[in-house]
Amino acid sequence: MENAILSFIQYLHTTKHSSENTEVSYERDLKKLSRYLTDTYGITDFSQVSATHLSAYMLYMEKQNYAASSVSRNVASIRTFFHYLQRQGLIALSPADDLKPPKAEKKAPEILSIEQVNALLSQPDKRTNKGVRDSAMLELLYATGIRVSELIGLKVQDVNLKLDYITCTDRTKERIIPFGGAAKRALSDYMDNARMSFIAGEDSGSLFTNCQGKPMSRQGFWKLLKGYVRSAGIETDITPHTLRHSFAVHMIENGADLRSVQEMMGHSDISTTQMYLNMNLSRMRNVYERAHPRH
C-alpha cells in the first residue's frame, strides 16, 4: 500500500504541481488510513477496501476526538486518492464516492491587536544571536503576511535590502512583497551580525537556520513562537498563521485595498481575502456599539 501512496504523491508533484504542504498532508492522512486498515482488518492492498471500511475509519477518527476540520481534510485526501487509483485502473470502483465530511462551523481566525503584536515583537532578547534571529523572523512574518512555510523556505538571495522587498516563489508563481523599516532593521541586524554564527559547515543558502545550521523547521518556529507568546502574556489561542491573519486585518484597517492584500498574501481567489474585510467590518461594528453615545 505504501507504493500506491508514494505513486500518488509523485502524481500530485509532477502532474498537479501541488504545494509541498499539500503533498505532506495527503501522505500523512493516507499513511494513517493504511495503518488503520492493516491493523484493524489485515488489509494489505487498497483494492480490498470497501465503503464500509472507510465509514468505520470515519467513526474511528470521531471516537479519537479528531477535530471536524481534520476529518474533513482526511475525507478530501481519501476521495482524491481513490479516484486516482480508479483512473489508474488499480481498482474498478472508488469506495470513497459516498464518503461525506462532517459539517463544521467556520470559525473566524484569531487576530492579535496591534498592542499584542507590539508586545510579541518586543520579546526576543536582541543582545543574543538567537534573539536577533527570532526578531528578524517575527518582524518579517508580520511585515509581509507570508506563510510560515514561505518564511522558513526563504533563501538569502530572496531578500532585497536595498529596495525593501522579498521574493516568494512556489512551483507556479512568484510574488514580490515589500516590507517596512522595522523589518528592514531586524533583517539587516540578523544578516550582518548574527546569521553566520548559526551556519555549521557549508552554507545552504537558507535565510533562517536553527542552532545547528540546518534550515529552520515549521515545528522549530512554532516552538519559539509559543514561548514568546507566553512571555508576552498573550492568552489568545494562536496558530502559526495568527501573524498572517493579523497582518491582513491590520492592513485593511489602515486603508489597504483588498486587491493589494490579495497579491501580497498570494491568494488565487479574492473571495479568500474578502474574509479579512468582513472581519474588519465586524470589529468596527463592535467598536461603534461600545463607543457611540447614541447607539
**CA proximity to 38, closest of 21, 57, 18:** 57
Paired with 166 in beta bridges are: 159, 177
- pLDDT band with cut points at 50, 70 and 90 for residue 102: confident
20-41 vs 68-87: helix axis angle to the nearest 10? 90
Q: 52-56, 133-137, 231-235, 255-259: which has the minimum mean pLDDT?
A: 255-259
Q: To which residue does cell 522595522 refer?
A: 182
pTM listed for this prediction: 0.61
Indicate the range of 114-128, 144-158, 257-271 predicted with least confidence. Answer: 257-271
User: What are the residue boundaries of the structural domains of the chain, listed by start?
Assistant: 2-87, 114-291
Q: Does domain 2-87 have CATH number 1.10.150?
A: yes
Residues 180-211: tens digit of each pLDDT = 999 999 999 999 999 998 886 667 789 999 98
Fold classification of 114-291 (topology level) = hpI Integrase; Chain A (1.10.443)
Whole-number pLDDT of residue 90: 92
